Amino acid sequence: MAFDMYHGSEKACIETYEESLFAPINENPNYPCLEWLLAELYNSPRIPPEKSNKIVHELIALREEVLGTELNHITKTIDRVMPFFSKAYTLNHEIKCASD
């Protein structure tokens, strides 16, 4: 099951095998927006531009936290989805989400 995200003509996806991205944020107060996204993952959330910007900053912090640890593999997912969220914020686009 994939988690698809869209804004404008842009598309990004978090595949089921990439959901380990959310493992270190569970109940971690440093990542409230990522925790929200995890909770809403399969409820087709809409992400306003301001929240996209907060997600970008949380992804940056998460990347720094996991770099060089056993969770280092999630940096590839972070590096792939971070520009998508950043562009949504920059273009003032709401992200629409859907899961299959």
Tens digits of residue pLDDT in 58-68? 999 999 999 98
Six token digits for residue 55 = 């997600």
Is the predicted pLDDT of residue 90 greater than 90, yes or no?
Answer: yes
Is the predicted pLDDT of residue 100 greater than 70, yes or no?
Answer: no
Our count of domains for the chain comes to 1
Cβ burial, residue 26 (10 Å; 0-12/13-18/19+): exposed
> Over the stretch 26-77, which tens digit does the pLDDT of each residue have?
878 999 999 999 888 888 899 999 999 999 999 999 999 999 889 889 999 9
pLDDT score recorded for residue 19: 87
Q: Work out the average pLDDT over 78-84.
A: 96
Which contiguous run of DSSP H or E holds residue 62?
helix 49-66
Integer angstrom CA distances of residue 34 from 9, 28: 23, 10
pLDDT score recorded for residue 47: 97
Domain that holds residue 56: 3-99
Six token digits for residue 82 = 């971070």
